Amino acid sequence: MSATSRGHRNAPLTPEGRLRLCLRVDAGRPIAHVAAEAGISRRCLAKWYARWLAHGENSLTDRSSRPIASPNRTRPESMPRMLRPSPPTTRPCVTSRSS
C-alpha cells in the first residue's frame, strides 16, 4: 500500500476498498445494503460510486478537506494589528470579592 492510500486513522476505507464497494454496487447490489455491510453511510458510498462512474478508479483516492475558498478569512493587513499587545488596563485587577 502506498503512502497516499493509507488514509488517516478514522478513514472508513482505503481507495482499494472503495473500489471493491463500487464494483459490488455495479454488479447490481443496492447501495444501501453494501454501505451497511461496510459500516459507512449510504450517502458516502453513493458519492464514491458516482465519482467512480464519472472519473474512474483514480477518483477514489483521499481528497483534501481544505475548502477551495475562505471568504471569511482574516485579511493579511489585519494581522499586525491583531498581534499587537493589548494596552495596559487602567483599573487594578481584582482577584477576590469582599463581602
Q: What are the tens digits of pLDDT across the range 26-85?
A: 999 999 999 999 999 999 999 999 999 999 999 999 888 888 887 787 778 877 777 777
pLDDT at 20: 93
Task: Record the cell numbers describing residue 58, joined without a space.
Answer: 483514480
Q: Comparing 83 with 20, which gets the higher pLDDT?
A: 20
pTM of the shown model: 0.59
pLDDT at 67: 82
pLDDT at 50: 97
CA-based angle 26:8:63, to the nearest 5? Answer: 55
pLDDT at 3: 42
From 25, 33, 77, 29, select the one nearest 51 (Cα to Cα).
25
pLDDT at 43: 97
